[in-house]
């Protein structure tokens, strides 16, 4: 490129087509606008200003479909300018760290000019071009552009921890680049048998491969191999992929094809976004009218993961931008913002405040799920907007409130007698889950918990039980999670008694899950929270014949006395 610029006398109107470029993009400077017409298929920092000022173009397209634009002549290429490794003894050069759309470019272009760079790693897979297929070549040693390992902040670490909760042993991952993917990888160190099928990766996977966490042994497509189309990172990463037979680079039309992605069972796709509206629409290539990045492979992998058996498509983003002054969970999209991933494609959205599960949820349920993970200072505003447009009913007045005493991560993953489950606060979006939980009870359970055989749990009643001020009262649940299905298995709550600085306890466990320790776990957590809140005591009332609840309370050394046919339990804190 430097040589082309230096010898450009007499040339004009050359269209430069590229995806993300990391090197010095001087050819995109305004002084060369008559020489080069830049057409970016994914916007990077080097061309963002040129596109914003209107003397460069952006063409939105899925990464999986860019090769067909070249091959079908929709975006014809006269010349492909590529960088390759030196040829081996058989005359084959490697496209190295960037096979992606470069592979189709060299096949489709009328003329191929290559820079043979001894610093280009020799990578395996479908990454080779024979020296005879290169029309002209120059040999120039040049360091590859590097991306430093990002420094993680508290918000990013919390996002990483929540995303890691969605990843199970044996899953296959697609990760992007930057702080959030690196944070996710950091919290996967205790997982086992993970696989990689991703369009790109960075330094974060090196340690997990070396430690055996990523071994690709459970993959159902390209088992035993890390599959990618390009990588970007430090020199350590480039040294790691050089002559590494365990990592294979394939063209984008293969790696990013949703049908190919879906051949991996338990495919987990992790992508980011600029903003998400309350219905689940995802904007990720523009900030309003300002074009910022590109579609890239987000939709390819979101759809591939959703088609995968046991797959999980995830959008992960901080809850705010501009130093906390702007919410990234928005009531409606910023004018000019382009939807990259539709509301029908999104299954999970994750921020530092938790996980919103959207698949199969109504607009009302999605709205409450997304408000739950918005920054607390924007939740009231979002709820007011949602009520204005009838997305939530009038009786839904309480915005989600976390339980600070549970720490930054409000969800705990646990195993109780071989049952894998999650402990977390109840939220307003659990209305349907609580209804289903109520209707699962038999008459005996209803008598013991409610002292009557209640036969109805309306939406309004359920909303009143899940939409509470968790900073005063407390409502926790244990859920089991099969793929993307959530079922409440136990609920524990207390109601604050202001005049006594005390609280009254109640809990109920699904009949099929009793005697697994769920009630004890809920009670222990409630005691811990009450202690931190400096309550003086906890009390509970139960029927004389409620043997199970009496045993649980006695295990925690509650005192007891019989009052009017009920047993009154008390624990002084």
- What are the C-alpha distances in Å from 98 to residues 20, 47, 120, 200? 11, 19, 10, 9
d(CA 374, CA 382) in angstroms, rounded, equals: 9
Q: What is the mean pLDDT of each run of 10 residues along the chain (573 residues)?
A: 90 94 90 94 93 95 97 96 97 98 97 98 97 97 94 96 96 92 95 97 95 98 98 97 98 98 98 96 95 95 96 97 96 95 95 96 94 96 90 84 94 87 94 92 76 76 92 95 82 96 95 92 97 97 89 94 90 96
Domain borders along the chain are 2-139, 154-388, 404-572
Close Cβ partners of 11 (under 8 Å, ≥ 6 residues apart):
35
- Determine phi and psi for 456, rounding to 5 degrees: -140, 140
Structure tokens at 486: 């959530």
Give all strands (DSSP E) within 140-294, no chain letters. 172-175, 195-196, 200-201, 226-228, 230-231, 247-249, 267-271, 275-277, 282-283, 286-287, 290-291
Burial 56-87 (b: 16+ CB within 10 A, else e): bbbeebbbbbbbbbbbeeebebeebbbbbbeb
Give pLDDT, residue 23: 83
Domains 2-139 and 404-572 alike in fold: no
CATH class of 154-388: alpha beta
Burial of 201 (0-12, 13-18, 19+ CB in 10 A): buried
490, 519 Cβ separation under 8 angstroms: yes
- N residues, the chain: 573
Close Cβ partners of 64 (under 8 Å, ≥ 6 residues apart):
252, 253, 256, 257, 258, 297, 300
How many Cβ atoms are within 10 Å of 513's Cβ, its own excluded? 20
- What are the C-alpha distances in Å from 517 to residues 438, 494, 511? 20, 19, 13
Give the closest residue to 264 by CA, choosing from 387, 171, 334, 183: 171
Give pLDDT, residue 565: 80
CATH T-level fold of 2-139: Glutaconate Coenzyme A-transferase (3.40.1080)
* DSSP letter assigned to residue 150: P
Q: Which of 65, 71, 139, 199 is catalytic?
A: 199
CATH architecture of 404-572: 3-Layer(aba) Sandwich (3.40)
Instruction: Compute the C-alpha angle 352/169/319, nearest 5°.
Output: 10
Give pLDDT, residue 483: 63
d(CA 535, CA 554) in angstroms, rounded, equals: 20
Q: Is 436 a catalytic residue?
A: no
215, 225 Cβ separation under 8 angstroms: no
d(CA 165, CA 155) in angstroms, rounded, equals: 16
- Sheet-wide strand order for 226-228: 124-125, 247-249, 226-228
Give the three-class secondary structure for 374.
coil
Q: How many CA atoms lie within 13 A of 154 on its CB side?
A: 4
Give pLDDT, residue 443: 82
Give pLDDT, residue 450: 67
What is the pTM (predicted TM-score) of this model?
0.93
């Amino acid at each position: 490129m430097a040589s082309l610029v230096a010898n450009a006398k007499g040339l004009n109107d050359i269209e430069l087509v590229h995806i993300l470029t990391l090197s010095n993009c001087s050819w995109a400077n305004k002084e060369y606008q008559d020489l080069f017409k830049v057409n970016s298929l994914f916007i990077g920092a080097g061309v963002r200003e040129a596109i914003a000022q209107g003397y460069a173009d952006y063409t939105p397209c899925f990464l999986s479909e860019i090769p067909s634009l070249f091959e079908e002549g929709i975006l014809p290429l006269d010349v492909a300018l590529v960088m390759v490794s030196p040829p081996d003894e058989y005359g084959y050069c490697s496209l190295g760290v960037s096979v992606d759309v470069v592979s189709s470019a060299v096949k489709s272009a009328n003329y191929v000019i290559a820079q043979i760079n001894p610093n280009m790693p020799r990578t395996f897979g479908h990454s080779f071009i024979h020296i005879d297929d290169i029309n002209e070549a120059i040999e120039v040693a040049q360091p590859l552009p590097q991306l430093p390992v990002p420094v993680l902040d508290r918000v990013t670490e919390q996002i990483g921890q929540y995303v890691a909760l969605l990843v199970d042993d044996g899953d296959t991952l697609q990760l992007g680049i930057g702080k959030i993917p690196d944070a996710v990888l950091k919290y996967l160190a205790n997982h086992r048998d993970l696989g990689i099928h991703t369009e790109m990766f960075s330094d974060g996977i090196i340690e997990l491969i070396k430690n055996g966490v990523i071994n690709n042994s459970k993959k159902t497509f390209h088992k035993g191999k890390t599959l990618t189309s390009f990588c970007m990172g430090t020199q350590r990463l480039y040294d790691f992929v050089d002559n590494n037979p365990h990592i294979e680079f394939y063209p984008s039309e293969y790696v990013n094809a949703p049908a190919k992605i879906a051949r991996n069972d338990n495919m987990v796709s992790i992508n980011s976004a600029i903003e998400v509206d309350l219905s689940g629409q995802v904007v990720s290539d523009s900030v309003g009218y300002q074009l910022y990045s590109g579609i890239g492979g987000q939709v390819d992998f979101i759809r591939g993961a959703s088609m995968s058996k046991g797959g999980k498509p995830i959008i992960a983003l901080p809850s705010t931008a501009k130093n906390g002054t702007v919410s990234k969970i928005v009531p409606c999209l910023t004018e000019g913002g382009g939807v990259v991933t539709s509301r029908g494609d999104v299954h999970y959205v994750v921020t530092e405040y938790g996980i919103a599960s959207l698949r199969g949820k109504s607009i009302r349920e999605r709205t409450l799920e997304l408000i739950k993970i918005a920054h607390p200072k924007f939740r009231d505003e979002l709820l007011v907007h949602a009520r204005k447009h009838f997305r939530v009913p009038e009786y839904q007045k309480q915005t989600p409130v976390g339980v600070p005493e549970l720490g930054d991560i409000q969800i705990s993953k646990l195993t109780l007698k071989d049952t894998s489950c999650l402990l977390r606060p109840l939220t307003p979006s659990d209305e349907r889950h609580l209804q289903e939980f109520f209707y699962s009870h038999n008459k005996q359970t209803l008598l013991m918990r409610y002292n009557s055989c209640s036969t109805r749990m309306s939406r309004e009643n359920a909303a009143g039980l899940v939409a509470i001020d968790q900073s005063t009262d407390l409502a926790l649940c244990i859920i089991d999670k099969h793929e993307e299905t959530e079922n409440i298995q136990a609920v524990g709550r207390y109601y604050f008694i202001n005049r006594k600085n005390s609280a009254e306890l109640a809990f109920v466990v699904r009949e099929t899950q009793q005697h697994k320790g769920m009630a004890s776990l809920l009670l222990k957590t409630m005691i811990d929270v009450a202690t931190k809140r400096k309550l003086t005591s906890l009390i509970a009332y139960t029927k004389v014949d409620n043997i199970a609840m009496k045993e649980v309370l006695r295990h925690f050394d509650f005192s007891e006395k019989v009052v009017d046919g009920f047993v009154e339990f008390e624990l002084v804190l």
